[in-house]
Amino acid sequence: MITQYVAAAMKQAEFERMENGRYFATIPACKGCWVDGATIDECRAGLPEALESWLLVGLQFRDPLPVIDGIDLNPQPAYAETN
């Protein structure tokens, strides 16, 4: 499921050329997840790994994660069975 989440999030990636000539990439729904690189291709290659790290930290600290393309990685509450 994480692979599908990352693929869906990558479709939302935004790339920007900075004043120093380097490139900056973000996924707007994933606040604080970004990479920079010498080229757009370098950013595109590094963004999935950055997103995976961002997700792992979010899951570890139980931060709410954005639902992307209907994929919800947030822990769901456990339901107690009634007898």
In sequence order, which residues have a C-beta less than 8 Å from that of residue 83 and are 6 or more positions away?
Answer: none
DSSP code for 68 = B
Pinpoint the alpha helices (H) of 1-83. 2-10, 40-60
Rounded CA Rg of the chain: 16
| Per-residue model confidence (pLDDT) at position 80 | 59
Task: Name the 3-class secondary structure at 57.
Answer: helix
pLDDT values of the chain reduced to their tens digit, one per residue, 83 residues: 899 999 999 999 999 999 999 999 999 999 999 999 999 999 999 999 999 999 999 999 999 999 999 999 998 887 756 65
Which tokens go with 53? Answer: 């790290």
**Backbone CA torsion sign across 34, 43, 66, 75:** negative
**Domains within the chain, CATH numbers bracketed:** 2-60 (3.30.160.250)
Please give the angle made by the CA atoms of 78, 52 and 11, to the nearest 5 degrees: 100
